[in-house]
Chain A
């Protein structure tokens, strides 16, 4: 069995950890509904799994005040009872179930909490940490493992109180050599995601039209790490390096122009 596995283990086997933004406060006033969004995402996950037999996908839901593992492709058994009834791919029945449970739990938690003056950000630091823990486990599982990367699908704005935790996760990812790709679907800029992708060597993109999200995802974010050495992916012209929360950053309204973003100083 081991030899078969090693034969099939080409250099483009990848583990994709998807951080899905399920912040209800963000999704409640969007033109694109959450269900449309989920369609794109689920199709994309299917495509990734189809690229290579040994590819793995893990989905972590990022809620308003909690986060949890929703789906792990290596654990789900094939042959789901739900496959016959709807047009839903068989693989994702359990995903949706777990997602529903997660949202219920998140709702419970927010009822318990008192403070409501927080910005409607999602718990990015939490899900990044969970992703890194999972990846760390993969690293220790033996010398034959897929190449992990993290994809952050985020729309909520950055929460400045999470700055330190997010930066810590970013540096851990950098050390582990795990690139953090980020796809920002909100209205404003996300400095966290830009910095994350810049520091870890991932790809950052903020698509403007969400009805073409599937195309964006499959074109940019489906490429595995080996392929990236000869495929050109879009690069941002500048990275917003402002440190938030400590200095009370004021966000830019609308899309930022090139001149507003800092240029990285030349390495001396």
Chain B
């Protein structure tokens, strides 16, 4: 009987538990074993009446894929067919249809809850260093499957316990595409889509409205609605669970969407927590009020350009009501109706502010002049106040984009001519000493001697004899030797590589040795200096593996044909040299350690004496 393993259900709410008398059939043809079907939290249990029978069954609700049942009207007995994700199906025969329907309803409920749970939980990331998620293991297997070379290395080292799994993969993070690389450095912004724009899914059959909630949505809700956020902090987990909180919140959203204010009011009256979601957001309102208070509401409108109306030429009606067109140069000799009216009105509003006998014209003029002076003196602001006013003005009116560019003093780049670097590297090539003056002279001389040579050959003709016979013979001999030895070493085809001439098995072995020795040496050298016992044992294991490799290389050299042996040993030599260096280092280090510990113990002995 199949037993599935899955995650445990962590729902706090209890849902009803029931037992039914059923017959369990593994297939339609099966006669069926009688027993009790129990519905418990998160699973279905079937216990047969006969304790010796072995058809006990345990099905976890997350694994149930679908359920089928027989119709009431048909003459068939009440069967409920559950199929799970693996494809098995379990048939339960109930005593009557009522039981079957009850069971089915409960299972539906359980399934619905499971689905809700699953969509609600955001993707869990295992952060523990020791725990490997299933995904990671799968990735490793995939990488190994694709790369045969890597698989071979893995088999050789990890399975023989020379290296641990973690050590092996530690240097290959790139292959596994670890999170650090996948995570982009760019900060991801918020989505433009509104939360309230997410439509819930309605299930007509079960009359359920399902809202999907992800952490992204939660973030948006909290950011946009501070009242909800505050309510969450206040109510969860003291007053209600998170699930209840969100249920209430979405109930409020649903009520909004139905636009049924009467129902909303009624429910708000009943449930004070729900009311929080239905009312307008107090916190936002408060924030807005604070912002307003910070703004300076005073607008200084005491005077503006329009006060100088006597010089504004935009009102064309003359005093006597006509609208003549006047030449511009004569414009200043005009006055319009509006100008006079405005001036008269301004003075009337000011009122009579002198108390002087109006008989004497001169005294009236002087009094008015005095009054004006005094008001002018009062109105004059001090220099500081003026400055402050100007500063405030510029601050308020400042637009960053239009500010003048701030030219900070820059230090100029000094990029040297790259040729100096290259040519200084090549300095050892030329044997002659260099100096500007000497060079010029040298060059001149060189050209001179070259031209002399040409003149010489023009006059004298070609050399006679062109070439001595001994020299020619020597040339032939050396060339023949060169060509024949080269043929032995390389082979007829210059593009053929030595590796191709080896038999295939040897070639593969050589290449494999190369990669495995590299791997070993990588881990070996990274373990020094030895500070912990873990490293000590690791180095010991690596050294054994390396000596193993070494002897294998020697054996390979002996096994190959004699004509290839020299080339093979040349090829293998660098590997052996690297291994020798590693061994040397290991022995030296070991010697140092034993010497130190010997000295230490000797010192102790001396000290104690």
B425 in complex: contacting residue of A40, A86, A161, A248, CB < 8 Å: A248
Q: Which residues of A contact B472 (CB under 8 A)?
A: 212, 215
Do B486 and A234 touch (CB < 8 A)?
yes
Interface residue? B208 (CB, 8 A) = no
Interface residues of B in 195-243 (CB under 8 A from A): none
Bitwise, B33-60 to A at CB < 8 A (1) or not (0) is: 0000000000000000000000000000
Do A160 and B450 touch (CB < 8 A)?
no
Do A237 and B446 touch (CB < 8 A)?
no
B462 in complex: contacting residue of A89, A118, A250, CB < 8 Å: A89
Q: Which residues of B contact A64 (CB under 8 A)?
A: 443
Do B429 and A209 touch (CB < 8 A)?
no
Residue ID in chain A nearest B570 by CB atoms: A259
C-alpha spacing A116/B430, complex, angstroms: 13
Interface residues of B in 89-141 (CB under 8 A from A): none
Interface residue? A103 (CB, 8 A) = yes
Bitwise, A237-268 to B at CB < 8 A (1) or not (0) is: 10000000100111100000001000111110
Do A234 and B430 touch (CB < 8 A)?
no
C-alpha spacing A24/B483, complex, angstroms: 33
Q: Which residues of A contact B454 (CB under 8 A)?
A: 34-35, 38, 96, 99-100, 103
Do A24 and B443 touch (CB < 8 A)?
yes
CB distance from B490 to the nearest CB of A (A): 6
Do A28 and B442 touch (CB < 8 A)?
yes
In the complex with contacts A36-B463, A118-B423, A232-B487, A219-B476 CB distance below 8 A: yes
Interface residue? A200 (CB, 8 A) = no
CB distance from A182 to the nearest CB of B (A): 15
Q: How many residues of A contact B (CB 8 A)?
A: 62
B461 in complex: contacting residue of A24, A25, A86, CB < 8 Å: A86
Q: Which residues of B contact A120 (CB under 8 A)?
A: 430
Q: Which residues of B contact A265 (CB under 8 A)?
A: 497
Bitwise, A94-105 to B at CB < 8 A (1) or not (0) is: 001001100110
Do B471 and A119 touch (CB < 8 A)?
no
Q: Which residues of B contact A232 (CB under 8 A)?
A: 483, 487
C-alpha spacing A235/B14, complex, angstroms: 88
Q: Which residues of B contact A263 (CB under 8 A)?
A: 497-498
Do A209 and B474 touch (CB < 8 A)?
yes
Bitwise, B481-513 to A at CB < 8 A (1) or not (0) is: 011001101100011011110000000000000
Q: Which residues of B contact A106 (CB under 8 A)?
A: 447
Q: Which residues of A contact B430 (CB under 8 A)?
A: 119-120, 157
Do A215 and B471 touch (CB < 8 A)?
yes
Chain B residues touching A, majority SS: helix
Do B453 and A33 touch (CB < 8 A)?
yes
Interface residues of A in 9-38 (CB under 8 A from B): 22, 24-25, 27-29, 33-36, 38
- Which of B65-73, B77-85, B257-265, B432-440 contacts the other chain? B432-440
Residue ID in chain B nearest A64 by CB atoms: B443
Q: Which residues of A contact B489 (CB under 8 A)?
A: 237
Q: Which residues of A contact B429 (CB under 8 A)?
A: 119, 157, 188, 251
Q: Which residues of A contact B423 (CB under 8 A)?
A: 117-119
Residue ID in chain B nearest A118 by CB atoms: B423
C-alpha spacing A265/B496, complex, angstroms: 10
C-alpha spacing A116/B440, complex, angstroms: 8
Do A96 and B458 touch (CB < 8 A)?
yes
A245 in complex: contacting residue of B422, B476, B479, CB < 8 Å: B422
Q: Which residues of A contact B434 (CB under 8 A)?
A: 116-117
Interface residues of B in 408-454 (CB under 8 A from A): 419, 421-423, 425-426, 428-430, 432, 434, 436, 439-440, 442-447, 449-451, 453-454
Do B468 and A235 touch (CB < 8 A)?
no
Do A43 and B466 touch (CB < 8 A)?
yes
Interface residue? B457 (CB, 8 A) = yes
Interface residue? B283 (CB, 8 A) = no
Interface residue? B467 (CB, 8 A) = yes
In the complex with contacts A96-B457, A119-B429, A215-B472, A234-B450 CB distance below 8 A: no
Do A38 and B486 touch (CB < 8 A)?
no
In the complex with contacts A87-B460, A116-B439, A209-B471, A219-B422 CB distance below 8 A: no
Residue ID in chain B nearest A163 by CB atoms: B422
Do B453 and A160 touch (CB < 8 A)?
no
Q: Which residues of B contact A215 (CB under 8 A)?
A: 467, 471-472, 475-476
Residue ID in chain B nearest A93 by CB atoms: B458
Interface residue? B459 (CB, 8 A) = yes
Interface residue? A80 (CB, 8 A) = no
Do A219 and B479 touch (CB < 8 A)?
yes
A219 in complex: contacting residue of B463, B466, B475, B486, CB < 8 Å: B475
C-alpha spacing A64/B443, complex, angstroms: 10
CB distance from A57 to the nearest CB of B (A): 16
Do B458 and A25 touch (CB < 8 A)?
no
C-alpha spacing A106/B454, complex, angstroms: 15
Q: Which residues of B contact A259 (CB under 8 A)?
A: 570
CB distance from B314 to the nearest CB of A (A): 72
C-alpha spacing A175/B267, complex, angstroms: 85
Do B443 and A88 touch (CB < 8 A)?
no
Do A88 and B479 touch (CB < 8 A)?
no
A251 in complex: contacting residue of B419, B428, B468, CB < 8 Å: B428
Do A116 and B458 touch (CB < 8 A)?
no
Do A235 and B486 touch (CB < 8 A)?
yes
Interface residue? B244 (CB, 8 A) = no
23 contacts across the A-B interface (CB closer than 8 A) = A28-B442, A28-B446, A38-B454, A38-B457, A39-B462, A43-B466, A86-B458, A87-B461, A96-B458, A103-B447, A103-B451, A116-B443, A117-B423, A118-B423, A211-B467, A212-B472, A215-B476, A216-B479, A234-B483, A235-B490, A235-B494, A248-B421, A259-B570
Q: Which A residues contact B (CB, under 8 angstroms)? A: 22, 24-25, 27-29, 33-36, 38-40, 42-43, 64, 86-89, 96, 99-100, 103-104, 106-107, 110, 116-120, 157, 160-161, 188, 207, 209, 211-212, 214-216, 219-220, 232-235, 237, 245, 248-251, 259, 263-267
